[in-house]
C-alpha cells in the first residue's frame, strides 16, 4: 500500500479513542463495580457462557489452535457513538463499546459478530489492512452469521417484506461496516462486496448453516459438540 495512503488511512481507529491514545484503561475496583465497565464485563461473561453462537465460535477457535482468553482478548472501552464493537487485528483483541451496549441481546450479537472476525483472523490469516476483499468477505460473513440480519432484528428496525431480504440486509450491513473503517467511496465498497458476495455469503463456517435464530444456533452448537466427540472416538 502506498505510504501516503497508509498515513491518511486510520482503519477506523478514530472510532475507538482509547486505542488511538494508547491508553486502554483497565478499571479500578471502584470503576468495575459502579460503571458501564462493570455492566459490560457482566454482560460479556453472560454472553460467552450462555450464547450458543458465542460458545460455538469459541469452541471452533480452540479447535483451530486459537484459544480465547476473556481477560486477554476482550476489552470493554468507550467508543464513538456510531459503533458497538470492533476487532483489533494488531492486538487480536475484541473491543466492546461499553457506552453503547446496554442490553444483553445487543451484547450477544456484538460478541458473535466480532468473534466471527476473530475466527477468520485465526483460520484464514486475513490481511485486514492491505486486502480489501479479505475485509469485505469477513464483514459479509459476520453480518450473515451473527444474527444481525435475523427476522426479529429486522422487524425491530421496520425492515421486512422484501424478496431475498436477508441477502439485502447482509450486503447493506457489510457495506456500512466497510465505509466506517475505510476511506473509500460507496462505489468502491459496493464493487468489492459484489465481487466476493456469493462466495463469502455461502461460507457458513463454523456453523455449517446460517443460524437464523437462537434455536438454529443451539442446533449448530450441539452438532459441533457431537462432531468433536465423534472425532475423539476415532
The catalytic site residues sit at 114
Q: Which of 10-19, 24-33, 99-108, 185-194 has the lowest mean pLDDT?
A: 24-33
Helix/strand/coil percent split, the chain, to 5: 60, 5, 35
- pTM of the entire predicted model: 0.85
What's the pLDDT tens digit per position in 184-228? 999 999 999 999 999 999 999 999 999 988 899 999 999 988 875
Q: How far apart are CA 74 and CA 25, in angstroms?
A: 12
State which H helix or E strand residue 176 sits in: helix 165-181
| φ, ψ dihedrals at 151, nearest 5° | -55, -45
What's the pLDDT tens digit per position in 125-168? 899 999 999 999 999 999 999 988 876 665 555 566 665 789 99
pLDDT at position 230, please? 43
Q: How far apart are CA 188 and CA 62, in angstroms?
A: 35
Residues 6+ apart with CB under 8 A from 49: 55
Residues 6+ apart with CB under 8 A from 179: 186, 189
Amino acid at each position: 500500500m502506498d505510504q501516503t495512503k497508509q498515513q491518511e488511512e486510520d482503519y477506523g481507529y478514530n472510532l475507538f479513542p482509547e486505542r488511538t491514545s494508547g491508553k486502554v484503561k483497565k478499571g479500578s475496583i471502584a470503576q468495575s463495580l459502579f460503571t458501564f465497565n462493570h455492566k459490560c464485563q457482566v454482560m460479556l461473561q453472560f454472553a460467552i457462557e450462555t450464547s450458543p453462537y458465542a460458545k460455538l465460535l469459541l469452541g471452533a477457535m480452540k479447535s483451530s489452535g486459537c484459544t480465547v482468553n476473556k481477560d486477554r482478548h476482550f476489552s470493554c472501552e468507550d467508543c464513538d457513538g456510531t459503533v458497538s464493537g470492533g476487532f483489533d487485528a494488531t492486538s487480536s483483541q475484541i473491543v466492546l463499546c461499553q457506552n453503547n451496549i446496554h442490553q444483553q441481546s445487543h451484547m450477544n450479537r456484538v460478541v458473535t459478530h466480532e468473534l466471527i472476525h476473530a475466527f477468520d483472523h485465526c483460520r484464514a490469516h486475513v490481511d485486514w489492512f492491505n486486502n480489501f476483499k479479505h475485509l469485505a468477505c469477513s464483514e459479509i460473513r459476520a453480518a450473515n452469521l451473527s444474527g444481525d440480519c435475523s427476522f426479529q432484528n429486522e422487524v425491530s428496525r421496520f425492515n421486512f417484506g422484501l424478496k431475498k431480504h436477508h441477502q439485502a440486509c447482509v450486503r447493506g450491513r457489510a457495506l456500512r461496516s466497510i465505509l466506517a473503517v475505510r476511506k473509500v467511496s460507496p462505489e468502491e465498497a459496493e464493487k468489492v462486496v459484489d465481487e466476493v458476495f456469493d462466495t463469502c455469503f455461502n461460507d457458513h463456517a463454523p456453523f455449517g448453516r446460517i443460524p437464523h435464530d437462537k434455536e438454529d444456533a443451539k442446533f449448530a452448537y450441539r452438532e459441533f459438540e457431537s462432531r468433536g466427540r465423534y472425532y475423539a472416538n476415532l
